Structure 1
């Protein structure tokens, strides 16, 4: 049973390189969204539509072949063949228009700084090689999420990726059914953590 104050978000990790994302907006807020999207998935397919596209957006995206820029007003046909929509606009009428169009098409939407219009949030992400941790404050405080990200970045050792590779190789070598493998992997993980604590 949940309370009114609980965080009911369901965390997922999307393979953006297999999806088509539409970003509406070309300002510094759009640049923040692009930095998050492409920083996590450099081969993502992203179409940017905005009446004005800043030089910062143009400069940042020039090294990403999957990004297309269109300097013009949004049209509902921009939603054709799109999987995900991100809006970085301070135009309430446009935001609501896109929200309604996304609902009709069953497209998931994120609107910058408008939690009430969002189907999903772009949370802070901690990255250490193959390890990614998503942090959400349920839209309450992105600033706290960033602070927690900094703490975890400092706390997690750089060698964690080597440990992940080792565990992956070990999993492939283990014999037995699923339950046996889980028990063996748990035992190895416990010993690895203990050795880190003793170091």
Structure 2
């Protein structure tokens, strides 16, 4: 009986896509590690506050501050920095391990998730090595054991991905939004999901990339009968249930 179910292999992390759009995140430190963290946060549309003395700023962090991409506080961390109720996450990248541990303890008291750079036991979550291609994001994590190896594995995975997969995913996203307008009902959920699966399996990445707005409108006409034509049939402007003359029978 047990062989029918996945074997439990403890020691891993629950890898999630954390939505931080328009949420306030506190970054303590302004060095090279902080620069990388800030890029990740800004790419996720977070609102970032950086606390660090100006003399310790990495050139990239200084650039973000100069161009108002982050909110900046020119001093060392103070416990009162955690009083802002809108803060949902705290990251630290400081050279002082004692200070980092103290910040972690304060975060625990306030129940704010924290990541103390290079101190795995004081991290509620880890940063992995991420490959990004438009909407596609692939993260490789070693659970804090080998960040460099995560980077190597990530590069190997990325090297084997189709070069146009990001564009294909973007197009599928547009098609899904259009489908929800065609069939908005909750009861349509299972059918919508299965029909989109059929499209993704039947059409190649090249087909999905080449699909334009008119192709999508014609393709959506096949949703009601729950069929998926080939890309070529859609381009021929065939509609479900309508015979299209192709000249093969001739005329008398």
Tell me if TM exceeds 0.5. Answer: yes
Q: Which residue of 2 aligns with 1:75?
A: 78
Q: Distance in 2 between matches of 1:100 and 1:61?
A: 29
1:103 match = 108
2:20 is the counterpart of 1:16: yes
Pick closer, same or farther for the CA change 1:149–1:169 going to 2, 3 Å.
same
Summarize the Cα distance change of 1:192–1:44 in structure 2 as closer, same or farther, 3 Å threshold.
same
Equivalent residue for 1:48, pick from 47, 50, 69? 50
**Per-residue Cα deviation, 1:66-87 (whole angstroms, up to 9, x for no partner):** 4122221210111122211000
Using the size of structure 2 for normalisation, the TM-score is 0.67
In the alignment, structure 1 residue 190 sits paired with structure 2 residue 192: no
2:121 to 116, 120, 137: 116
Residue in 1 that maps onto 2:244: none
Bigger Rg, which one:
2
Aligned length: 192
2:193 and 2:144 map into 1 onto residues whose CA distance is 35
Offset of 1:57 from its aligned partner? 4.1
Report whether the alignment pairs 1:85 with 2:90: yes
- Assess, with a 3 A threshold, how the Cα gap between structure 1 residues 62 and 102 changes in structure 2: closer, same or farther: closer
Aligned-CA RMSD value: 2.5
Higher relative contact order (CA 8 A, sep 6+): 1
Gaps of 5+ in 1: none
Residues 125 and 135 of structure 1 are in contact (CA less than 8 Å); yes or no, is this contact kept in structure 2? yes
Are positions 1:149 and 2:184 aligned together? Answer: no
Question: What residue number does 2:166 align with?
Answer: 161
